[in-house]
Amino acid sequence: MTDAASPIRVAIIGSGPAGFYAAGHLLAEGPQTIEVDMLERLPTPWGLVRSGVAPDHPKIKSVTRIYERTAEHDRFRFFGNIEVGVDVSRAELARHYHALVYATGSLADRPLGIPGEELPGSLPATELVAWYNAHPDHHALAPDLSCKRAIVIGNGNVALDVARMLVLPISELARTDIADHALAALEQSAIEEVLVAGRRGPAQAAFTNPELRELAEIEGVEVEVDGQELEDALAVEDPHADPTAKRNVETLREYAQATAARRRKRAAGDEGAAAPRRIVLRFLLSPLAIEGGERGVQAVTFVRNRLEADAAGRLRAVGTGQRERIEAGLVARAVGYRGSPLPDVPFDAERYVIPNERGRVIDPAGGGTRRGEYVVGWIKRGPTGVIGTNKKDAHETVSAILEDLRADRLPGPEQPSPDQALALLRARQPNLVTYAGWRAIDHHERARGAAQGRPRTKLARIEELLEVAAKAGSEEEISAALQRA
Ligand SMILES: Cc1cc2nc3c(=O)[nH]c(=O)nc-3n(C[C@H](O)[C@H](O)[C@H](O)COP(=O)(O)OP(=O)(O)OC[C@H]3O[C@@H](n4cnc5c(N)ncnc54)[C@H](O)[C@@H]3O)c2cc1C
Ligand SMILES: NC(=O)c1ccc[n+]([C@@H]2O[C@H](COP(=O)([O-])OP(=O)(O)OC[C@H]3O[C@@H](n4cnc5c(N)ncnc54)[C@H](OP(=O)(O)O)[C@@H]3O)[C@@H](O)[C@H]2O)c1
């Protein structure tokens, strides 16, 4: 039973967009008695906004200003550097909170399941992205960039992010918040060509049009599309092609025309000033095997596909048997992310999500919902959707929580006091990072960045992050310092 006047304590696990939108909705739309604690395994908040969004897209990252307003709410507390399922269990949290909201995202990679995938130089985009964004789990990745050609497998926005990051001029990267270790490695990179391989056609690509158009705006980079291959891949009409697909096809046709014009000029002996780097967009190619040895990747063998409609009219890739071997020294697999289970929390091992009904976690044994357990974001619906998609998604889950609160369906925790919850978290993780700790990190990174004309210079090691967080002064001191930065 929940008493109308006593606090309703909610723990949100994960501090990405989904967790923050859920917190914001709960505090804005729920009764004044709602109190939110957010638990994050890293010392830093914002999930993929910090560790996924590409460094050359700073405007997108400014969404964190909205989350900052939530974090400064007097009924909100942030606790970083505490991993649920490792440092503290679900059952322990349930003793302190009326509701638990899982917002853990989908941070693992989806394997291709082909030979050679494990070779050095064959990397999931999940790791490469985390490396260039200074995620502490991957600061030591050190990809070998001494080859001339890299292959990116996949046709989503992550594939385009990775391709762009591998060819952007250093002068441009040096103005971003890219990890220092990645900047240094990319400065020495020998990569001249990044080939992006899609298994289906241009009208089925998952990338969005601004991201595709952006490729042609990179200084010193030619975008190459073979007109014949493009038209072959467009031969089967896609009844599901949406406006984005149509715009992408138009853009790709422009790229193909520009490629043909350059080829004609060069065939006539006019070498002109060839751009030092290129992105080659290829279609209807599925990887069959990655070749190489202990010293790394040497080539990828693809099978050429044709498109065939399935029973629902969705065009799928079917191998023709025709093979193509393309040499490369680096392979990035950008074929999607994947959720991971949390101990003692239901998990759908086929869809890699926490099973739920409009955000209420489903009990796989009984089939009903688990009282007081909810889910939001990528771990609720799978790893698709932009930052804003998580807002509506979080709203649905928060509506379910508030509905359950009104119907008195939330469990009553044994120890609902905020101090008791904090005592548990501190006992399990003495180096807990509070919001003041994060603000100290934020200030430190921004001050280091400002000295170099960059938005921030990220700290990439847990020890460094904890050391700076531990120096956090009072909230007032940090506010004043942040305003000066
Ligand atoms: C490479 C990449 C680039 C992207 N770029 C853009 C873009 O430019 N624009 C755009 O609109 N969208 C972009 N997106 C999509 C956007 O990032 C996602 O829609 C969004 O981040 C999903 O939010 P989430 O909160 O569900 O997950 P996440 O952002 O992944 O947050 C999950 C959080 O939970 C934490 N966590 C995980 N397990 C635990 C645990 N056991 N205990 C405590 N904490 C835990 C994680 O550390 C993380 O902070 C991009 C996605 C990727 C992968
Ligand atoms: N700038 C931005 O706004 C931005 C940047 C990055 C990410 N995001 C968002 O984040 C989400 C995740 O992006 P994502 O790129 O990881 O996923 P995605 O959009 O789902 O794209 C995954 C790609 O991988 C391909 N693929 C899957 N399995 C494959 C296989 N076995 N072999 C070859 N190709 C395979 C898919 O092809 P099929 O279609 O044939 O399955 C698809 O092209 C998306 O919603 C994306 O828009 C946004």
pLDDT in tens, 79-103: 999 999 999 999 999 999 999 999 9
Atom of ligand 1 nearest to the CA of 14: 34
Supply the residue whose CA is at minimum distance from atom 43 of ligand 2.
Answer: 155
Please state, in angstroms and rounded to a whole number, the distance separating the CA atoms of residues 21 and 388.
Answer: 9
Mean pLDDT within 285-290: 98
Ligand 2 pocket mutation, candidates 106, 127, 128, 158, criterion most atoms within 8 A of CB: 158
Does residue 482 register a pLDDT over 60?
Answer: no
pLDDT tens-place string over residues 160-219: 999 999 999 999 999 999 999 999 999 999 999 999 999 999 999 999 999 999 999 999
Cα–Cα nearest to 427, from 93, 37, 88, 95: 88
Does residue 447 register a pLDDT over 90?
Answer: yes
Does residue 15 register a pLDDT over 90?
Answer: yes
Mean pLDDT within 452-480: 84
The pTM for the full model equals: 0.96
pLDDT tens-place string over residues 337-348: 999 999 999 999
Mean pLDDT within 35-55: 98
What pLDDT does 480 receive?
A: 58
* Ligand 2 centroid to residue 485 C-alpha, Å: 37
Residue 155 beta carbon below 6 angstroms from any ligand 2 atom: yes
* Ligand 1 centroid to residue 390 C-alpha, Å: 10
Q: Residue 267 — very low, low, confident or very high, per pLDDT cuts 50/70/90?
A: confident
Q: Residue 457 — very low, low, confident or very high, per pLDDT cuts 50/70/90?
A: very high
* Order of strands across the sheet that contains 34-40: 76-80, 34-40, 8-13, 99-102, 369-375, 360-362, 356-357
Please state, in angstroms and rounded to a whole number, the distance separating the CA atoms of residues 20 and 105.
Answer: 12
The reply to whether CATH 1.10.3720.10 applies to domain 108-337 is no
Ligand nearest to the CA of 385: 2
Supply the residue whose CA is at minimum distance from atom 31 of ligand 2.
Answer: 112
- The tokens for 193 are 């060509």
Q: Where are the chain's structural domains? A: 8-107+339-433, 108-337
Point out which residues pair with 13 in neighbouring strands: 39, 102
* Ligand 1 centroid to residue 321 C-alpha, Å: 38
Residue 318 beta carbon below 6 angstroms from any ligand 2 atom: no
Cα–Cα nearest to 42, from 424, 440, 472, 431: 431
Cα–Cα nearest to 152, from 330, 290, 275: 330
Place of tokens 């771990």: 379
Place of tokens 């999500």: 353
pLDDT tens-place string over residues 423-432: 999 999 999 9
Q: Residue 126 — very low, low, confident or very high, per pLDDT cuts 50/70/90?
A: very high
> Domain 8-107+339-433: which topology?
Rossmann fold (3.40.50)
Supply the residue whose CA is at minimum distance from atom 10 of ligand 1.
Answer: 386
Mean pLDDT within 366-391: 96
Residue % of the chain over a pLDDT of 70: 96
Atom of ligand 2 nearest to the CA of 316: 40
Radius of gyration of the chain (CA): 24
Please state, in angstroms and rounded to a whole number, the distance separating the CA atoms of residues 58 and 82.
Answer: 28
Phi, psi of 238 (to 5 degrees): -100, 110
Ligand nearest to the CA of 52: 1
Atom of ligand 1 nearest to the CA of 378: 26
Mean pLDDT within 140-156: 97
Supply the residue whose CA is at minimum distance from atom 5 of ligand 1.
Answer: 53
Helix (H) or strand (E) holding 331: strand 330-333
What pLDDT does 302 receive?
A: 98
Supply the residue whose CA is at minimum distance from atom 12 of ligand 1.
Answer: 386
Reduce the DSSP state of residue 459 to 3 states and report it.
Answer: coil
Q: Residue 76 — very low, low, confident or very high, per pLDDT cuts 50/70/90?
A: very high
- The tokens for 308 are 């065939």
Reduce the DSSP state of residue 38 to 3 states and report it.
Answer: strand
End-to-end alpha-carbon separation of the chain, Å?
48
What pLDDT does 56 receive?
A: 98
Reduce the DSSP state of residue 350 to 3 states and report it.
Answer: coil
CA distances (Å), 122 to each of 108, 249, 295, in order? 15, 29, 11
* Ligand 1 centroid to residue 55 C-alpha, Å: 15
* Ligand 2 centroid to residue 334 C-alpha, Å: 7
Atom of ligand 2 nearest to the CA of 208: 47
If you write DSSP's letter for every residue of 4-63 in order, what string do you get? Answer: TTS-EEEEEE--SHHHHHHHHHHHHHS-TTEEEEEEESSSS-STHHHHTS-TT-HHHHTT
